[in-house]
Chain A
Amino acid sequence: MARFGLLIDARKCTGCHACSIACAEYNELEEEVNYNRLEFVEKGSYPHVKMDIIPLQCMHCDNAPCVAVCSTQATFKEENGIVSFIADKCTGCKACMAACPYDARALNEARLAEKCRWCPEKLTQGEQPVCSSTCMNEVRLFGDLDDPNSEINKKMAQHEVSQLLDSHGTKPRIYYIK
């Protein structure tokens, strides 16, 4: 069983939002719903200034607060590490939204709290999800953390990585190159 993970090299992101639109089209999301987003951080003062852009989406936390609070197991952790969501079971209580420290979920028209799925149909076929495959800067790299030969593991070995809000104990599955 694969254990999926995602490595994001935010240094390369130029904020084009292709990932977001590609995801929305692929997953046929409603206009108001996005599974991923960008955070912009301005640092310094003119002319010695720079901008960080950090792509964000559901972290598929190993210790996911959203899974913990979901009373019906509509949101649950799969063996492969993906935090999945079953629409039938969702009561629309939004507890997961209140609980997610990453603001990673969005409510749809049917008032169900959707989120990034990590496109399992792509991952299991060894392909990259569309947010990754369309990115002109190749910012995202999905892969199997259990496979020592996977691209992601090779790349992780070359760089120092960090996780967002790891102090919360959520054990996110997304790693950022420092």
Chain B
Amino acid sequence: MAKLKRRSFLKAGAISAAAAAIPFKLSMKDYQKAIADEPTKKIPTTCNGCASMCGIYAYIKNDRLVRVEGHPVHAKSRGRLCARGHGMAADIYGKGRVTSPMKKVAEGEFEPISWDQAFDEIGEKLNGVIDQHGGNSVMWLEHGVRGLRYAEQLLDRIGSSNYVTHYSTCFSAKTNAWQQMVGGMLNGDHENSKYMIFEGRNFAGGIIPHGMNQITKAKENGAKIVVIDPKYSEIAKIADDWIPIRPGTDLALRLAMAHVLINENLYDKSYVKKYVDGFEEYWHENKDKTPEWAEEITGIAASKIREISRELAANAPKAFIEPGWHGLHAHYINSTQTAQMGVILNALLGNFYREGGLMPSAGVDFGEVLLRDVVEVEKGPRADGAGIEGQRMTVETGRGIAQTVPDMIENDKVKALFVYHFNPLRTAPDPEYQKKMKNAELVVSIPVDWNETSVYAADYILPESYYLERTEVPTQVAGHTSHLYPQISIRQKVAEPMHDTLPLLDIMRGITHAMGHTGMYGLTVEDEIDQMLEPVGVSRSDLLEKGTVELRSNKIEPIFPTDMNGNPNIGTHSGKIQFSGEIYRIDGKKGIPTWVAPKVSPDPSKDDEFRLIHGKQPYHSHHVTSNNPKLVRITEKYNGTAMWMNKKRADRLGIKDGETVTITSDLASKSVPVKVTELVHPECVWISSAYGGFSDRLETAYNLGVNYNDFIKAEVEPFSGAVMSQEVVVKVRKGADV
């Protein structure tokens, strides 16, 4: 049934007018009446536009999704959704979806097959691979944690340690460093803060709607906002101060800020004494990192560095340097040290577990789901070397390294590959290299749309049902923002699947049963929900009806966690905040952050050399939304694919606003329109990270703009395994590529 568009109202009117020759068209009032008369169901569920998974209400009329609105309770949105949240929902009817299981018949060509055939063939091939190369040769590569609960069961059953997530392309410098130093990640308590520094964190572009709401609220209540970013980002718009920094030098800035705090005795001494381990060592190592020293490196005046450091201290503990997300944490060779400095600066302010400072996420314990047919099989070493001495010892095993999977295939470590909810051909470096994933004996992609990874690397594409078409187990609302009470929310089916698709649980059941493990995945999702909710005290029907529930039970308090003896006890080896990453004490290193220069830098004497930097756009998610016609309409209207270049530099190259220029790195040469502006650091050019689609089955995204991953090699940052996506110097010239 066609979506009853307003257009069709008007059109129907126009046609009847022509036919009857008596002007009759529905008026706006009739239209509203028509809307009001029709039954509209309002069902709570969660958005999948990005990892925030905001609570939403889906409005359903005549079995069709009409629109979504924000769920008033959900702490990520509190009723306010971003553009993507509104726009993504419509993709349920989008053209880019994979409509049934597909089998590759030739390069880039697929034929639809039945689920049974898909399961049988994949099950058989998988058994073959396992028989020949062992279970450890099977890898599950996914966006991260979303598929974990189901992936894990398979990997455990066949004995594979190779669960790898997207985090190394996102923010593993932070997840690794914070795990080492704080035992987990805390969030800015934005709403209660008096002074916030957003360095490489664009909350208004890398959006969490209610998080941003808390920030503007704080500002209205007098908080000061400082944004340190080579590009005037969306959050710079509301900042009291925008401080452009030479990209890649944030570590120097942070070292100098710590220097001011310590040297001028502005840090919280009693707090540090009580809760910090390794302060002396740190100071010993970094006594020479003065603001003057940093001025040279960062291009920020020493006086400015002193000013913001002093202001931070003056407002502490209701002050912080935002822990950040992607921004600085997968960008440079010094990203891990930069992330470490995020911990150290905040600890010096004494703001961990303090109101207006950094607070943990409020949490609840879900009940354990009792699985059937659990067989323990011994696992081999991780293919990405994470956690293995002599290899990628320092990299978290829970997240791994996503960008070098083709190497692992080449080295015969991986023979069968599952790619779930992840599109490394477009969101990991060097697409030509990533395409080599197809050389594995079996590649199964589980997407919703014809993403590049599916089209160019998969032998089988198993489409998952759209997020509005499936029910999942409940999740906690946690991460990156602060709220006092724990919340749980649930995603539920609001519309019947449009196409021949299945939820992940059913896909896993199908594959494993075909492999002969007929006892696996025996529970229905409802069973799992019931078992999980058991200790929480919320019934399934209750949760399904409410969507998101706030539990008033375990409120989080601004108290530093202690053990029974009153000693600090966060999940680190000393129980305190570590100023050195224990695990980073390798190769003669002290584990303490100190200055590391970026790997590559543009040559200032060359007019055409720039560092290529990137960032989120508020109306796109990574790459996936660039196939959404409504969101891309905004791109078109507001010149969203343009590369930003500083006016002075542009003048030197004779480049004018709106022209086409060509960006060249060792890997690629591509043309984009240019926006000549005062709003970006002269030494870099900035592009939005949303574009550059090359799957021709995603019509809207296809050939729209360029992607930073086109220009960078698949490299591995030595400590956290991140991608180093801005260790690249490009040449820019006037004119289109020929």
The answer to whether A45 touches B647 (Cβ under 8 A) is: yes
- B688 to chain A minimum Cβ distance, whole angstroms, is 13
User: Interface digits, A35-70 against B, CB 8 Å rule (1 contact, 0 not)?
Assistant: 001101010111101110100000000000000000
Q: How far is the CA of A22 from the CA of B77 in the complex (A)?
A: 14
The answer to whether A12 touches B86 (Cβ under 8 A) is: no
Chain B CB within 10 A, most for which of A13, A88, A89 = A88
- B208 to chain A minimum Cβ distance, whole angstroms, is 9
Known: A46-B646, A88-B24. A20 touches B234 (CB 8 A): no
* 8 Å CB contact of A14 from B31, B79, B242, B618: B618
Q: How far is the CA of A120 from the CA of B6 in the complex (A)?
A: 17
CB proximity to A under 8 Å, residues B11-36: 11, 13-14, 17, 23-29, 31-32, 36
Residue of B nearest to A121 (CB): B32
Is A176's CB within 8 Å of the partner chain B?
Answer: no
The answer to whether B80 touches A15 (Cβ under 8 A) is: no
Q: Which residues on B sit within 8 Å (CB–CB) of A130?
A: 69
The answer to whether A17 touches B67 (Cβ under 8 A) is: no
The answer to whether B83 touches A16 (Cβ under 8 A) is: yes
Is A32's CB within 8 Å of the partner chain B?
Answer: yes
Known: A134-B80, A136-B207. A21 touches B619 (CB 8 A): yes
The answer to whether B28 touches A85 (Cβ under 8 A) is: yes
User: Interface digits, B434-477 against A, CB 8 Å rule (1 contact, 0 not)?
Assistant: 00000000000000000000000000000000000000000000
- Interface size range of chain A in the complex: 35 or more
CB proximity to A under 8 Å, residues B276-309: none
The answer to whether A14 touches B238 (Cβ under 8 A) is: yes
- Interface size range of chain B in the complex: 35 or more
Is B237's CB within 8 Å of the partner chain A?
Answer: yes
Is B90's CB within 8 Å of the partner chain A?
Answer: yes
The answer to whether A88 touches B23 (Cβ under 8 A) is: yes
The answer to whether A46 touches B619 (Cβ under 8 A) is: no
The answer to whether A47 touches B630 (Cβ under 8 A) is: no
Q: How far is the CA of A42 from the CA of B681 in the complex (A)?
A: 15
The answer to whether B86 touches A22 (Cβ under 8 A) is: yes
Q: Which residues on B sit within 8 Å (CB–CB) of A18?
A: 80-83, 85-86, 209, 618-619
The answer to whether A21 touches B234 (Cβ under 8 A) is: no
**For chains A and B in complex, what number of residue pairs have CB atoms within 8 angstroms?**
174
Q: Which residues on B sit within 8 Å (CB–CB) of A37?
A: 637
* 8 Å CB contact of A46 from B14, B66, B638, B678: B678
User: Interface digits, B212-224 against A, CB 8 Å rule (1 contact, 0 not)?
Assistant: 1100100000000
The answer to whether B82 touches A25 (Cβ under 8 A) is: no
Q: Which residues on B sit within 8 Å (CB–CB) of A21?
A: 83, 86-87, 619, 630-631, 634
Chain A CB within 10 A, most for which of B36, B83, B238 = B83
Q: Which residues on A sit within 8 Å (CB–CB) of B486?
A: none
* 8 Å CB contact of B28 from A22, A84, A109: A84
The answer to whether A86 touches B83 (Cβ under 8 A) is: no
Known: A87-B27, A112-B10. A12 touches B238 (CB 8 A): yes
Q: How far is the CA of A130 from the CA of B83 in the complex (A)?
A: 12
Q: Which residues on A sit within 8 Å (CB–CB) of B28?
A: 84-87, 117
Chain A CB within 10 A, most for which of B68, B242, B638, B678 = B678
The answer to whether A88 touches B27 (Cβ under 8 A) is: yes
Which 10 A-B pairs give the minimum distances between C-beta atoms? A88-B25, A14-B204, A16-B618, A25-B67, A136-B209, A110-B10, A49-B678, A28-B6, A14-B234, A21-B86
Interface positions of B (Cβ within 8 A of A): 5-7, 9-11, 13-14, 17, 23-29, 31-32, 36, 66-70, 79-83, 85-87, 89-90, 204-205, 207, 209-210, 212-213, 216, 232, 234-238, 242-244, 618-619, 629-631, 633-634, 637-638, 646-648, 677-682
User: Can you identify 11 A-B contacts, CB atoms within 8 angstroms?
Assistant: A14-B204, A14-B212, A15-B618, A17-B83, A17-B618, A22-B83, A28-B66, A30-B6, A31-B629, A51-B232, A130-B69
